[in-house]
Structure 1
């Protein structure tokens, strides 16, 4: 068990050894495969971090069944998902650590079952569907694969305004669209194109042309169009950050900034996403995260002081400190 996990799990008052091991597995998955997401999670209060790791670990575990370039196994995803849903209904707890941590997280934060059902449905689609005719079709997929991730996060982030849910959903879609734009070449290796067919048709781009690996002027214009659409999603989502608890805002601001800069990175490599992977550099990630970490610590101190003052005002007069 790492010191990072011990600190967070102790703060969350998670003492059961099996649960602690499950959350540590999720943390490691997050740290290895979702570096931006993990970096942002470290800006939350320690007692909330394990639950974010669980959300990532669960999503990553499901994704592996259908995204493996070596041995995708949609049937195993169905079995795994059904076992988890049965556990939610009181059935046996699966052995998979990500499932163990996710069950605990859902119960702690009262995350609705329908979010998991929608997520598993979208993951199953990756086993059979290789493209989407319209953006509306893609949005249906993204609801389960991305928007519900934002909605699962929302209780942990403690929204302060009812409109935060719509903004969280849009941010999840913006994150996923950023990945789709960055990963066009990689997704083609799995036989998939996530950019809507209606958009390819509008710009005169075929799947065969994308498979050729050459960014033609038409491909470049297509990518510019998708980037602008995604930036509009980010613009709609951005006010939602201020609708969260003050101790959650720096986490989400960091994720917002670094994910949105994937689009800048695509532009910097002249849209060569068919053969290259655009990325936000480590120095840039640290330049965003380190000041945010200082602000996050101050927000936690301010919150603790406000809570202590409130508790003091509510204390019976006979127990007032002298």
Structure 2
């Protein structure tokens, strides 16, 4: 079993640094909630090696990340409660070494890489920084058919991270000299890096942001479609997380895409209202896709096919609405 100290440290780190994720985590059953605290803490500790590295030479950052990797994989002993707890967790839930390595490799990428030419290049990075996270979270939930859940968990992990990238454009430039908006998108709409550095919200920038919002929303739809493959007691918390993270898109659009003057932040009262609204719809309909469509700000627009997925997001709408109606009638009888 994972040590109580490791869980406590993980919970404290998550509460301090990941308020939205912490709110959703609290809704998970205890068996998954405690494991999630440990996972999040490990991800955060590794992330801070490169995000809070002002003045630290790249060679030292890489050395520290390799130390974390060895401890996480159980190759070296450690007295760090977070790393020790993660190593125990990895063995308990049979988390693949490949996912741990892919995640650490993505953190190593952040040491030296700060620009991405194409979305395909950015997505390759996110296979470690986001998709591997989604796969590890799925492992601790222990779904009956992981092979069906994992592709959707990958998409949802990517959607969460892309929402963060779109929210944090200013913060990433000012604090880390990083730009996660693909250069191909910026070039398509005539946005120069100088515009971003001068915090100029041009019409081209608004169009580029809307393009990336729609791309991310296609991933939300794909990710939410797989929530039904998770254990019953995990479906609502994951759905809530999707609703909360996606709500940044509403905020960005309400601000006319201005994420350059300051970093947008969703008010706690808004988050609690979204949780309550999601719970209300969930009481009447346990179909995640239908509830997400009704509660979240993510549109499901006819004919909106994402060019990077080639999938019409309306596929299955009739099935979901019919299933929702049947579920509602069943609860009324």
Normalised to the residue count of structure 1, the TM-score between the two structures is 0.82
CA–CA distance in 2 between the matches of 1:99 and 1:74? 22
What is the aligned partner in structure 2 of residue 39 from structure 1? 23
What is the aligned partner in structure 2 of residue 136 from structure 1? 120
Preserved CA contact (<8 Å) 1:27 1:54? yes
Q: In the superposition, relative to structure 1, how do residues 264 and 88 fare at CA in structure 2: closer, same or farther (>3 Å)? A: closer
CA–CA distance in 1 between the matches of 2:273 and 2:171? 28
Structure 1 SS opposite 2:225 = helix
Two-structure CA RMSD over aligned residues (Å): 2.1
What is the aligned partner in structure 1 of residue 156 from structure 2? 171
For residue 100 of structure 1, report the CA deviation from its aligned partner.
Answer: 1.4
What is the aligned partner in structure 2 of residue 202 from structure 1? 188
CA–CA distance in 1 between the matches of 2:279 and 2:96? 30
For residue 107 of structure 1, report the CA deviation from its aligned partner.
Answer: 1.1
After TM superposition, the structure 1 stretch with the greater mean CA deviation from structure 2, 137-146 or 184-193, is 184-193
For residue 89 of structure 1, report the CA deviation from its aligned partner.
Answer: 5.5
Preserved CA contact (<8 Å) 1:247 1:296? no
2:17 aligned with 1:68, yes or no? no
What is the aligned partner in structure 1 of residue 130 from structure 2? 146
Structure 1's unaligned 5+ residue stretches are: 1-12, 298-322
Normalised to the residue count of structure 2, the TM-score between the two structures is 0.79
2:257 aligned with 1:271, yes or no? yes
* Length, aligned pairs only: 281
CA–CA distance in 2 between the matches of 1:247 and 1:296? 12
For residue 245 of structure 1, report the CA deviation from its aligned partner.
Answer: 0.4
CA–CA distance in 1 between the matches of 2:282 and 2:56? 40
Q: In the superposition, relative to structure 1, how do residues 267 and 286 fare at CA in structure 2: closer, same or farther (>3 Å)? A: same
Could you report, residue by residue, the CA deviation over 1:33-78 in whole angstroms, capped at 9, with x for unpaired residues?
Answer: 1111111111111122111011110111111111127445543443
Preserved CA contact (<8 Å) 1:44 1:296? no
Structure 2's unaligned 5+ residue stretches are: 284-333
What is the aligned partner in structure 1 of residue 326 from structure 2? none
CA–CA distance in 1 between the matches of 2:107 and 2:266? 26
CA–CA distance in 2 between the matches of 1:267 and 1:39? 24
Q: In the superposition, relative to structure 1, how do residues 226 and 295 fare at CA in structure 2: closer, same or farther (>3 Å)? A: closer
Structure 1 SS opposite 2:143 = coil
Q: In the superposition, relative to structure 1, how do residues 131 and 220 fare at CA in structure 2: closer, same or farther (>3 Å)? A: same
2:38 aligned with 1:20, yes or no? no
Counterpart pick for 1:116 among 89, 100, 103: 100
For residue 192 of structure 1, report the CA deviation from its aligned partner.
Answer: 1.1
CA–CA distance in 2 between the matches of 1:47 and 1:296? 22
Q: Which has the larger radius of gyration?
A: 1
Q: In the superposition, relative to structure 1, how do residues 61 and 173 fare at CA in structure 2: closer, same or farther (>3 Å)? A: same
After TM superposition, the structure 1 stretch with the greater mean CA deviation from structure 2, 64-73 or 219-228, is 64-73
CA–CA distance in 1 between the matches of 2:269 and 2:83? 34
Q: In the superposition, relative to structure 1, how do residues 74 and 54 fare at CA in structure 2: closer, same or farther (>3 Å)? A: farther
Could you report, residue by residue, the CA deviation over 1:189-225 in whole angstroms, capped at 9, with x for unpaired residues?
Answer: 2211111111111011111111111101111111011
CA–CA distance in 1 between the matches of 2:158 and 2:9? 26
Preserved CA contact (<8 Å) 1:41 1:52? yes
